Amino acid sequence: MKIADIKSELSSTTYPGRGIIVGKSEDGKKAVAAYWTMGRSAGSRNRVFVEDGDGIRTQAFDPSLIAGDPSLIIYAAVRVLGKKTIVTNGDQTDTIYEGLEKGLTFEQSLRSRKYEHDAPNYTPRISSLLNFENGYDYSLSILKSDCGKGDNTLRFTYTYDNPQNGEGHYIHTYMGDGNPLPSFEGEPVKVKISGSIDDFTNQIWTSLNEDNKVSLFVRFIDIESGKWETRILNKNK
């Protein structure tokens, strides 16, 4: 599989939607996770990331502008359970957390969920799990509709047992702009991870479409000690 340049990959479309990148730093010492939100409507753009304990959650920038189902835009995006870090694009973060607490696997925890109920887009639920139980490995998941059919969930889980230095995998909700929005297709894209946490954060933020980007979270986790650094960027200030 060819390894893609993050800046080229992200700037290739104006609307990849919400995205997750998970991987390993160039020096092999840090696990890397990134998650961002984008929006076309005023409601989707009306949010920010805020720290919440060990993780983050989305929050309305202007509470008076909340419309429709708030669970689709207001949720815990990142939670930490022991030696596991969960990063997702929706309230399935809590589903995974609770499932892991009960002894279920990442994949089993998501069996109770499906794509988002925002017809006609049926936005995919994308999720990731960074596991530090024995070294470091990670998994990515996508739950999506069957070509826009509202009665069938397609479930894909990708597990990376031996992450490589300076490499990661990128999954996102949409192939590009459209009406309805076309769901992500294919396997997660292998991407190059380079530089410090600030370099990596800047690479992503400056590559996302200026009009549509909303918020970005990046975390580098020391694989040996478990200590982390976090960066949060919000367009709304």
Q: Does residue 32 sit within a domain?
A: yes
What helix, strand, coil percent values describe the chain, rounded to 5?
A: 20, 40, 40
Q: CA 128 to CA 59: how far, in whole Å?
A: 21
The residue-averaged pLDDT of 31-55 equals 94
Indicate which CATH number applies to the domain containing 100.
3.60.20.20
Query: How does pLDDT run across 81-108, given as a tens digit for each residue?
Result: 999 999 999 999 999 999 999 999 999 9
pLDDT score of 48 more than 80: yes
Query: How does pLDDT run across 65-76, given as a tens digit for each residue?
Result: 776 667 777 899
Q: Does residue 18 sit within a domain?
A: yes
For the chain, the domain total comes to 1
Query: How does pLDDT run across 156-175, given as a tens digit for each residue?
Result: 999 999 999 999 999 999 99
Q: Does residue 1 sit within a domain?
A: no
3-state secondary structure of 190: strand
Q: CA 51 to CA 59: how far, in whole Å?
A: 10
Query: Which backbone phi and psi does 195 adopt, to 5 degrees?
Result: 80, -175
Closest listed residue to residue 30, CA positions, set 233, 190, 203, 219: 219
pTM of structure? 0.96
**Phi and psi based region of residue 103 (left: phi greater than 0; alpha: psi -120 to 50; beta: remaining):** left
Q: Does residue 223 sit within a domain?
A: yes
By residue range, what is the domain housing residue 67?
6-228
Query: How does pLDDT run across 171-220, given as a tens digit for each residue?
Result: 999 999 999 999 999 999 999 999 999 999 999 999 999 999 999 999 99
Instruction: Output the pLDDT for position 68.
Output: 65
Q: Does residue 237 sit within a domain?
A: no
Q: Does residue 116 sit within a domain?
A: yes
Contact (CB, 8 A) for 164 and 157: no
Whole-number average pLDDT of the chain: 95
User: What percent of the chain clears pLDDT 70, i.e. is strictly above it?
Assistant: 99
Q: Does residue 163 sit within a domain?
A: yes
pLDDT score of 135 more than 80: yes
The residue-averaged pLDDT of 42-61 equals 94
In the numeric block, which tokens belong to residue 165? 């230095």
Instruction: Output the pLDDT for position 201.
Output: 98
Q: Does residue 14 sit within a domain?
A: yes
Closest listed residue to residue 155, CA positions, set 209, 108, 87: 108
